[in-house]
Amino acid sequence: MYYHVNGEVVPAEEATVSVRDRGFLYGDAAFETLRAYGGAVFEPEAHLERLRDTCESLGMEKAVPADLSERIAETLAANDLAEAYVRVSVTRGTQPGKLTPQPEVSPSVVVIVDSLPRGGREGSSAWDGPATVATVETRAIPDAAIPAGTKTHNYLNGILARLELRDSESDMSANGTSQPDGSSVPVSTDTDQEHRSADEALLREESGAITEGATSNVFFVTDGVLRTPSAECPLLPGITRSVVLDLAASEGIPTDTGSYTRAECRAAEELFLTNTTWELRPVTRLDDREIPAGDGENEGEGGPITRQLANAFDALVERRHY
């Protein structure tokens, strides 16, 4: 693989930044995850705007290079990739001193890519199957502490949420009762059971209202209405989230954005997650409740509204990129 580092395309094994880079030392950096279909980035302006907004929030509004789109295209071409995951990172670079940033910025700009399946109507999903989700005790960071709309290298909140899932699964595997035949039966708490083999962690704010997944936005359907936590909540309003809301409007699907409890989400008729790589991913279990996700030839593809929106998303990608 080849990556783009500070203006040059280099082999992956040579793609490095300084150990004194503030992105490495403090997480003092912005990033965006993008997806390329047919050799072109999906929703490029929306991603670029959010990257610039994050850099502005970090006090380095001029750090995003004017030729960033060309750098992405060069990286895709160097790897002969038309269908790809793309990650762009912009750090404050190296500076003298310690925590307090200096006004002058010489950013490190890195583009990495990896292959993904073809998208659109003729494509296939980047995920292996529908997701399972578990609510975690890790709380979403209040917007007053770190602006929720920024996408920075400091992802500890999501990491801690995913660690809850991993640790619960490990505990269930390690803790068991021995049976006469040598097998074991797990001894676990209700929380362990809810976390079993979950793919995504569902975070809540201090009030208990749900916010988002560790790396995804959450949508659910009740009474025929598509619902998702409002951007007023402490969450990162994803680019795919915005596209899905636009598609729902064009498809005539009633929508509501607001503040929702875990119980409201668990009572959903349909549930799905969105992010750039997954697009729309149906959910078949939230905690200990099974969520309907299609049957017969549609099994695992989500309920009727989920499938309608997924088809509309695929059609949009097909029109724009193929």
pLDDT, tens digit, 9 for 90 and up, residues 115-162: 999 999 999 999 999 999 999 999 999 999 999 999 999 999 999 999
DSSP 27: -
Q: Is 150 exposed, middle or buried (0-12, 13-18, 19+ CB in 10 A)?
A: middle
Answer CATH for 2-115 from 2.60.40.10, 2.60.40.350, 3.90.950.10, 3.30.470.10: 3.30.470.10
pTM: 0.91
The pLDDT of residue 299 is 87
Taking the alpha carbons of 115, 120, 122, 127 in that order, is the dihedral positive or negative?
A: positive
pLDDT for 167 equals 87
Give the closest residue to 290 by CA, choosing from 196, 171, 160.
196
Q: How far is CA 313 from CA 49, 220, 258, 276, 316, in A?
A: 22, 17, 23, 12, 5
Q: For 253-299, what is each residue's pLDDT tens digit?
A: 999 999 999 999 999 999 999 999 999 999 999 999 999 888 888 88
Output the CA angle 190-196-197, nearest 5 degrees: 170
> Rounded to an integer, what distance in angstroms lies between the CA atom of residue 218 and that of residue 201?
11
Would you say residue 99 has pLDDT above 50? yes
d(CA 118, CA 125): 8
**Residue 295: its pLDDT value, please?**
84
Distance CA 307, CA 293 (A): 9
Q: pLDDT tens, 152-210? A: 999 999 999 999 999 876 665 555 544 444 444 443 445 555 555 799 999 999 999 99
Q: What is the pLDDT of residue 82?
A: 98
Q: What is the pLDDT of residue 194?
A: 54
Q: What was the pLDDT predicted at 277?
A: 98
User: What local confidence, expressed as pLDDT, does residue 224 receive?
Assistant: 97
Query: Please, what is the angle between helix 44-57 and helix 68-78, to 10°?
Result: 120
What percent of the chain clears pLDDT 70, i.e. is strictly above it?
91
Output the DSSP codes for 215-271: SSEEEEEETTEEEEE-TTSSS---HHHHHHHHHHHHTT--EEEE---HHHHHT-SEE
Please name the residues in contact with 255: beta carbons below 8 A apart, sequence gap of 6 or more: 225, 226, 227, 228, 245, 248, 249
Question: For position 178, what pLDDT does the model report?
Answer: 40
Residue appearing with tokens 């269908």: 83
Note the pLDDT of residue 186. 44
Task: Return d(Cα 255, Cα 197) in angstroms, integer.
Answer: 31
Q: What is the pLDDT of residue 296?
A: 84
pLDDT more than 90, % of the chain: 87
Per-domain residue ranges for the chain?
Answer: 2-115, 131-173+190-321
The hierarchical CATH code for the domain 131-173+190-321 is 3.20.10.10
pLDDT of residue 170: 63
What is the rounded (10 degree) CA torsion for 145, 151, 157, 162?
A: 160
Residue 78 burial (10 A CB sphere; 0-12, 13-18, 19+): middle
Classify 274 as helix, strand or coil: strand
